[in-house]
Structure 1
Amino acid sequence: MAQTDSSIVIDHGRSSWSDLWKKEDYLAIWLGFLIIAISLTAYFGFGPREEFAKKIAAAEQIQSAEAAKAPFKTIAWYKAENDKKKLKGSNSAFGKFITHWTKHPGSWKTNPADAFIRTDAQAKAMNEKAMPVYEEAKGKAAAAFAAAQQAESAAAAAAFKDSALNDAAVATIKDWQSAEKKAGAAKGKTTNKAYNYIPTLVGLCVFLVVIFGAGMALMKKSFTEFAKGFVIVFLVATLAYMLGGQAISKQYGFGAEAWGVLLGMVIANSIGTPRWVLPACQVEFFIKTGLVLLGAEVLFSKILAIGIPGIFVAWVVTPIVLVCTFIFGQTVLKMPSKTLNVVISADMSVCGTSAAIAAAAACRAKKEELTLSIGLSLVFTAIMMIAMPAFIKAVGMPEILGGAWMGGTIDATGAVAAAGAFLGEKAMYVAATIKMIQNVMIGVTAFCIALYWTMRVERQAGGQDVGAGEIWHRFPKFVIGYMLTFARKKWSTNPCCRWNCPWSAGASASVSVRFSSSTT
């Protein structure tokens, strides 16, 4: 068996029962499960579960009655739907508490301090500035509602049998919904509040030190050394968040991930990463834990909603692109490193950074190859999220088709949603849904790469047969956690679980990725 090589993402080794609490992959699963368990316990123990269930049942009863009465979605149906959407775990007392302690630096334009502190005077000035726009939008929404009521009443007077009146009602109700959304967005800009994120960031840092430090201790590494270095990692990640929140940076899609990589490169190639910080630079550990949590966000209902065309784009086109780009790299570009080739192929075909980590672990790629792949992904993501919407508009491509194209092409999920928003609301939802469906491919991709690498690539290179044990050892175990959390979402039947608590997967996965990118 080969000796351990620290430059490789995952090396050869033997599996034993102690791996379950000593190995990074398994610990990523347990930490992810722990955070999810805390979230569920908090929701079911402290959240307004019974209240939510009653309100959901009442709203669905109204919707059923309206669906039986009219051949289209009525005003009452949409009001009931809006009532359901208002039910969020973040509105409960415990939800507000957790949301408060998981804040990250906010947006700012000219003064970086605004990302951390906003005074009452600043909040008041922002609200007063936005109020005229809200009042105008509110008036338009009221007028649209009156028109929708009139059109629906006319359709009801004809017992909903006049197709022309029904079509008119559908159109006016759609206009009312659009006006309501604009009014809601305008209202949100009038509710700015003062904040001071510095204490909350300190609390978040302590929490993450405890969570990941416990994992480091189980891996027989020093908790104290990790804690000391993690403070610097956290500060760099916070700086990346702050820079990513700058107005111009956000406009051009240069987010916290890109700033994290850039800062990491500057530090590593100038003053160098201090040796006492290195114990906290656990890139794979952070991302693997985030990936486990990501599985909790991939809702099976999204897969069903997008239909066969969306599933075809995500689950058929994706592996074809991966295989074709790998073959292209080997036969046309003559790339000397097959591991770099397949990591880049997985990165660009599946879902960017997350897939790159899984692929690198499966094929034992070098860490610098993983870093290069992620860097390329971030560069092209920033370019494509601006260029693709412009091209789609220029050629007159339908909004839904354009959204599906971007969802299957742009790497990062956040960038996909931002690019889709440039086209319109429908494009944004289609693009984000396609990307979330693609995320499910992470586990399958990792397994197939591990199988191919052990059975074909390394067998050709060394002439040795590889057993099932080595394939299992090579397979990135954190992907199992990802798939299990996805399965939990798929089979969850409790109606209250339709609304994710704010302290669950999303925030934690995002934080993990930010830390890893800033230390790459």
Structure 2
Amino acid sequence: MTAEPHELLVQKPGFFQSEDWWAVWLGLLIVALGAGQAAGVDLLGWVAKYNVWSDIGKAVAPNSKEFAFLGGFGSMLATYLFLLILTTAGAYFMGSSVKRFVAGFTILYWVTVAANTAGNFAYLAATPNNLEKFGIGWSLGLGELGFVIALVLGLIIGNFFPKAAAFLSTAAKPEWYIKTGIVILGMTIAIKTVGAMGLASTVIFRGICAVVEAYLIYWPVVYIIARKFFKFTPEWAAPMASGISICGVAAAIATGSAIRARAIVPTVLSSVIIVFVAVELLILPWIATTFFADDPLVAGAWMGLAVKSDGGAIASGAITDSLIRAKALAEYGVNYQEGWTLMAATTAKVFIDVFIGIWAFVLAVVWSVYQIGTKRSEGKSYKVSFREIGDRFPKFLIGFLVVFGGVFLWGITNPDIVKAAGAGAGQANLLRSIFFGLCFFSIGLITNVRKLWAEGLGRIVGVYALALFGFILWVGLGISYLFYHGILPPVVAS
């Protein structure tokens, strides 16, 4: 069984050399620019806004009237150049080939733009209350469909055009894009928290409780399944249990580092996780919408607990948020405020990521004290460096917490700026959506289903499938229902 080293395994821990830290820097910069609204300065008005459309000429426009002179294409071009400069700087410091990154990112961006535009076609995305506005008699009401289109395009290229996928691989960095988006999302969540303190604090507190309860159940069960029924060694079973039960790639890598597993272990597990995430993205949001349109936060928390990657969980939360709002409006006449279902998913995922660091520390201590592992070449017990565990802690969480805490305190102590800061958060959120789209397309590009089977990963897939469909989905749903049932998002006044 062979595999190429996963890029996260070879990241350097420096402030300007890892995806995590660059997610922090990019996210903080974009949030700072958005916050200019509170000072009366429009620094992001040129960012492209993608509208639901029946006339293609109205599909894209600058988000601020002050920049209307740019037109739709001008705003897309300005957004492209802005993101290209920022991401290329990050790629350079992280050691990527600048030429290959620029070429790859250019294609990723414009494909994402095309997918986003197609997904906003009125017959696909218009909500029931806007049908007359677009002069149409029906619509599927599938908001955020652009993400799914980007994912499908990525899967097609990744599995049927390997040379093209290899060319784009330098720029296909799903974890970096989604983590940057999560840092930016901290601003939106903070503004929502200030505006609805009681509900927001309930969502956050229950999210913490749900995460702790879920993963004290998930991890030992997956570990036992891997060890007892599929006969994996502890070196494989521990990262597998973390990757399947906690948070996918990041958890598998952190655990592998903590117990000093060979690099191939989290590398191979990451490949399997990515495939399952792609499958979950295509299925779970629609299942959640079908059965929990009247319980949106249950659906959102379920996405956070069930989908095993930061990108997949947050993206599935965004899709579910849009689908449920459209269905609730069409069937119940209830217009839920945007973002609360996504907030439930994000809250669960953020605290899951915090749990990664804690759990890696616990496993490092257990493996060292009880000498569960041995160095593969020497047969001796080992001790784990706490610094190494710290290096594996997801740094983008620092960015999220800084943004959330800073904007929250700013809004609480200066209520007059909340409205303007909310407008700035909306502008930053447009860039967050682009990062999410880039993540979706990248996930598809790096998901090579045929290669996994060719490398003989049947047993790992067996553990994952049994754990995910056998109990993780249903335990996660039960816990989400237990903590979030009956808690509804605010309703937008007609």
Shift of 1:431: 4.0
The question of 1:460 aligning with 2:372 is answered yes
SS at match of 1:279: coil
The question of 1:38 aligning with 2:33 is answered yes
SS at match of 2:160: coil
Q: Which has the larger radius of gyration?
A: 1
Change (3 A) 1:7 1:330: same
Is the contact between residue 211 and residue 352 of structure 2 (CA under 8 Å) also seen in structure 1? Answer: no
Alignment of structure 1 residues 396-475 onto 2, 5 Å? 402-411=295-304, 412-421=316-325, 422-423=327-328, 424-425=334-335, 431-432=341-342, 434-456=344-366, 460-462=372-374, 463-475=381-393
Amino acid of the structure 2 residue aligned with 1:245: N
Shift of 1:115: 6.9
Alignment of structure 1 residues 291-302 onto 2, 5 Å? 291-299=182-190, 300-301=193-194
**Using the alignment, how far apart are the partners of 1:22 and 1:117 within structure 2?**
35
Counterpart residue number, 2:74? 199
Is the contact between residue 420 and residue 428 of structure 1 (CA under 8 Å) also seen in structure 2? Answer: no
Counterpart residue number, 1:210? 85
The question of 1:377 aligning with 2:280 is answered yes
What TM-score results when the alignment is normalised by the length of structure 1?
0.61
Which of 151, 157, 166 pairs up with 1:267? 157
Shift of 1:439: 4.8
Is the contact between residue 243 and residue 256 of structure 1 (CA under 8 Å) also seen in structure 2? Answer: yes
Q: Deviations over 1:147-191 (max 9, x none)?
A: xxxxxxxxxxxxxxxxxxxxxxxxxxxxxxxxxxxxxxxxxxxxx
Change (3 A) 1:452 1:379: farther
Change (3 A) 1:466 1:212: same
Shift of 1:295: 2.1
Shift of 1:479: 1.8
Counterpart residue number, 1:488? 406
SS at match of 2:15: helix
The question of 1:11 aligning with 2:9 is answered yes
Give the superposed CA RMSD. 3.5
The question of 1:316 aligning with 2:316 is answered no
Shift of 1:219: 2.4
**Using the alignment, how far apart are the partners of 1:317 and 1:358 within structure 2?**
20
Structure 1 residue runs without a partner (length 5+) = 48-93, 119-192, 348-355, 391-398
SS at match of 1:486: helix
SS at match of 1:233: helix
Amino acid of the structure 2 residue aligned with 1:378: L
- Percent pairwise identity: 19
**Using the alignment, how far apart are the partners of 2:440 and 2:359 within structure 1?**
24
Which of 258, 261, 277 pairs up with 2:148? 258
**Using the alignment, how far apart are the partners of 2:176 and 2:11 within structure 1?**
18
**Using the alignment, how far apart are the partners of 2:86 and 2:176 within structure 1?**
12
Q: Deviations over 1:445-486 (max 9, x none)?
A: 232243245344696343422121111111122221122112
Is the contact between residue 180 and residue 432 of structure 2 (CA under 8 Å) also seen in structure 1? Answer: yes
Change (3 A) 1:425 1:455: farther
Is the contact between residue 104 and residue 168 of structure 2 (CA under 8 Å) also seen in structure 1? Answer: yes
**Using the alignment, how far apart are the partners of 1:371 and 1:345 within structure 2?**
14
Shift of 1:306: 1.8
Counterpart residue number, 1:330? 223
**Using the alignment, how far apart are the partners of 2:255 and 2:85 within structure 1?**
31
**Using the alignment, how far apart are the partners of 2:172 and 2:147 within structure 1?**
16
Q: Deviations over 1:379-421 (max 9, x none)?
A: 333332332236xxxxxxxx5xx23422322343323423542
**Using the alignment, how far apart are the partners of 2:124 and 2:288 within structure 1?**
13
Counterpart residue number, 1:289? 180
Counterpart residue number, 1:362? 254
The question of 1:107 aligning with 2:55 is answered no
Q: Deviations over 1:344-370 (max 9, x none)?
A: 4335xxxxxxxx465355345434234
Q: Deviations over 1:73-111 (max 9, x none)?
A: xxxxxxxxxxxxxxxxxxxxx37xx3443223x3346x8
Is the contact between residue 291 and residue 482 of structure 1 (CA under 8 Å) also seen in structure 2? Answer: yes
Structure 2 residue runs without a partner (length 5+) = 62-67, 126-140, 257-265, 305-315, 329-333, 375-380, 444-494
Change (3 A) 1:276 1:489: same
**Using the alignment, how far apart are the partners of 2:373 and 2:155 within structure 1?**
33
Is the contact between residue 184 and residue 400 of structure 2 (CA under 8 Å) also seen in structure 1? Answer: yes
Counterpart residue number, 2:24? 29
The question of 1:386 aligning with 2:386 is answered no
**Using the alignment, how far apart are the partners of 1:454 and 1:408 within structure 2?**
29
